[in-house]
Structure formats: structure tokens, C-alpha cells
Structure 1
Amino acid sequence: MAGNPLTNLFGKSPIAPIQQHMTSTRDCAQLLTQFMDAAVAGDWDQAKTHQKAIAKLENEADKLKKQVRLQLPKSLFLPVPRSDLLDLVGVQDHIANLAKDIAGLMLGRQMEIPAKLVELMGEYLKLAIDTVNQAHRAIDELDELLESGFRGREVDFVESLINELDKLEHENDKAQVKIRAVLFKLEAELPPVNVMFLYKIIDWVGELANEAQKVGSRLQILLAR
């Protein structure tokens, strides 16, 4: 973007920190796979290592969020509303927060995943992370969108990424219904408190995908401006 007059006007790209923030957010979510594997295996020392890594990345994401707020120009020459970009970063940040919350709750309670849920939980979490990855791919095009003036083939390409993002989130919704149905059948065999927290983790994993879809929705708003 070195030749973009907007970049020359603002000094630094207002977009790069947003993309860096989404990368940290994505990395938080991806680490949940390793964390969950350790938790299922009952290796809480390893799980703690992964939880600390997630917390560190979430902290980095917080710092990047603050950097975006400070760096985004308040000038009327910004090609899209500043408030929309700040809202986008806020949604991205929710993903990192959720990843940290999931790992923190499971580690703190040393939660066991019932054997009948292990495979379903793995598939469900993978779908949620795939949705976050897709949101990252879309945000990775934000600088190209700025370069193109939010017009032309780049817009069509990003819209196709967002459409795929919506499909992934829908698949995650269906997986959530399935895993909740299985847990419902297991409720009588499990301590009620454990059941309550299992539903909480299931909800939060679903929220990972929901927030990733919201990233796409915010990006669509930018395209429509």
C-alpha cells in the first residue's frame, strides 16, 4: 500500500493493525485444539501450558486493539467510517476473549469430557475454528479492499469469502444442536454441576463461530458503504 495516497496522508496504514489483531485472535482460537486434546487426555500440565499461551495471545490482542484505537485517524478522509472499523475490531476481540474463557474454565475445573461426547466435541470445535480461520481470510483482504477503493473484483472475492463464512457458521449451528442432544441424554449419568458447565463450554464454542460470522457481517457493512 506504499503508493496509496491515503497511506501517505495518514503516515501509517490504518488497516495493518486491524489485520494483525485478527491474526492474534485466530491464533488464540487455533490453540484450543491442542488445549482440548490435552484436557481430554487428562494431561492438565500440558493443558495449562496451552492455556497460558492462549492467555498471552489474548493479551497481545488487547494491546493491538488499543493500538488500533489510537492509530485510526479521526479525519473525515478515512475511506470508511471510523466507528465501523472500531466495531469490527471489537467483534474480533470477542473471539480471543472466548478462547481464553473456554481454556480458563476447563482448566480451572479440570473438566472431563464424557467419552460419548469426545468425538463430537472435537468435530464441533474444529468447525468453530474453521469459521474463525475463514473470518481471518476475509480480514486479510482488507488492505486490498482499501487499495481498490472497495470496488471491482476484490469486492466480489471478499463477498465469496463471507458467503463461505456464513455456511461454516451454519454447519457449526447444526453441530451444536447435535452435541446438545447427546448431552441431554447423558444428563442423568453425570453430576448436575458438571452438566451445567459442559453446556456453558458448548455455548462458548458456538459463540466462537457466531463472532467469526459477525466479523464477516461487519466487513459486509464496509463493502456496502
Structure 2
Amino acid sequence: MDPTKNSPFPSLFGKSPFGALTEHMRQVEKGSSLLMEFIERSQAGDWDAAEALHQQINDCEHEADDLKDRIRLNLPSTLFMPISRADLLVLVEAQDKIVNKIKDISGLMTGRRMQFPDALQAPIRAYLETTHASVAQARKVLEELGELLDSGFGRSVGELIADMVAELGRLENTSDEQQVAIRRQLLPLESELPPLEMMFIYRVIDAIGSVADRAERAGSRLQILATR
């Protein structure tokens, strides 16, 4: 099947690629929201619900992949915008890495039936909220940049989104601080849990932080595009 046949993407790109990019980022944000629900259900030991949520995350990742492929196939070689085709392809790849990591987290936790120690439930919840806020903020930056460029706004686009990107950086820094605090809380628990289990807990904690980091990178990429 020809993925370009009867596709709305060519006509969309005739005006701007940001509609398709935003649709992709919304799938990424949906995956982030589902991850919060997934960990809540896994902590409660409701593995039927957790596995269903993991499947929904998989579906988000597959939809994001499909959107990424259609963007690549339909993005014109020449755009009537101050942004190159190559830059936009790098951006969609950066967005896609976020949802890929989200899927990795839920897949690992589902396969091993992983749960965090009870003492970490509140810190992990706060950590996930910060991570999700980072993904949501990256989506907001993308929407704002697309609207400004589509409207031909006369002032510096870079200046207008600078505060939004700064907030994204603040969220990523908060995520780093929360990760350090969680690791510190884990130290006295290491002797109580099997070493292999501890290794995977640390791996998931790192991966959650990677989601916020990748969202911040996508936002930074947008800021670079806005200043060109």
C-alpha cells in the first residue's frame, strides 16, 4: 500500500508541517500520561489493568511511529518557511525517542512484574508528575512555535518562546533533583531487596529521568529552530 495515497499530509505540508508534528507530539504526551496510570496500577498489584495500560502505551508508540513515517514520506523537499526539512526530520526523531523510552519502561516493568518499595511511592509519583509536565511543556512549545511561524508574526519568534523553553529546563532540573533524592532513599533499602531487583529499579528510575531529558532536548531543538 502506498502510504502517500489519499493522505492528508501533502496538503497539510503545503501550508506548514507543524500540524503533523503536533499530532505526533500529542501521541507522545498521551503515552506519558498512560505511563503514570500504568505505574499507579502496577504499584497496586493490579497487573491486569497494568498490562492493558502497557498495551495502550504500545499502541501510542506504534501510532507515533506511523505518523513519523508519514511525515518523512510526505514532507516536501522545499518548505516556504525559515526551517529546513532536515531540521524538522531531526525534531520528529527527537520526539519519537521520548515515546520509545516510555514504552521501554512499561515493557520492562510488565515483563518483570516490577514494583517500587512502598517508601518510594510518593517520591516516584512526584517524579512522574514532573516528567509528564516536561513532555506536556515540550508539546506546548511546539504548538506555540507552529502558530507563530504560521501567522508570520513579525517579532522575534525566539524571544517569544524563550520563557517556555526556560520552564522546560526548570522542569528537567527538578527531575534531576528528584532522581538524586530517590536514589538516596534507595540506599538503605539495598540490603533488604535482591540485588537483581535493585538493579532493575535503578534502571527504571534512570529511564524515567531520560523521558524528561529527552523532552528538554526536543524543546531545545525547537528553540534552535526559532532563532535561525
Question: Normalised by the size of structure 2, how large is the TM-score?
Answer: 0.90
Partner of 2:190: 187
Q: Partners in 2 of 1:92 and 1:51 — Cα distance? A: 19
Go from structure 1 to structure 2 and tell me whether the alpha carbon gap of 1:193 and 1:139 turns closer, same or farther (over 3 Å shift). Answer: same
1:156 and 2:147 matched: no
Q: Partners in 1 of 2:72 and 2:11 — Cα distance? A: 19
Partner of 2:175: 172
Contact 1:17 1:67 in 2 (8 A): no
The unaligned stretches of length 5 or more in structure 2 are 1-9
1:145 CA drift (Å): 2.6
C-alpha deviations, 1:43-93, integer Å up to 9, x for none?
A: 000001110111001100000101111121112644211111111111100
1:144 CA drift (Å): 1.4
SS in 2 for 1:11: helix
Equivalent residues in 2 for 1:8-87 (5 A)? 11=14, 13-75=16-78, 77-87=80-90
1:10 CA drift (Å): 5.3
SS in 1 for 2:64: helix
1:124 to 118, 123, 127: 127
Equivalent residues in 2 for 1:129-148 (5 A)? 129-148=132-151
C-alpha deviations, 1:93-128, integer Å up to 9, x for none?
A: 011101111111001100021011111111111111
C-alpha deviations, 1:184-209, integer Å up to 9, x for none?
A: 22111110000000011001000010
Q: Partners in 2 of 1:208 and 1:45 — Cα distance? A: 25
1:94 and 2:97 matched: yes
Superposition RMSD in Å: 1.9
SS in 2 for 1:112: coil
Contact 1:150 1:223 in 2 (8 A): no
Question: Normalised by the size of structure 1, how large is the TM-score?
Answer: 0.92
Partner of 1:105: 108
The unaligned stretches of length 5 or more in structure 1 are 1-6
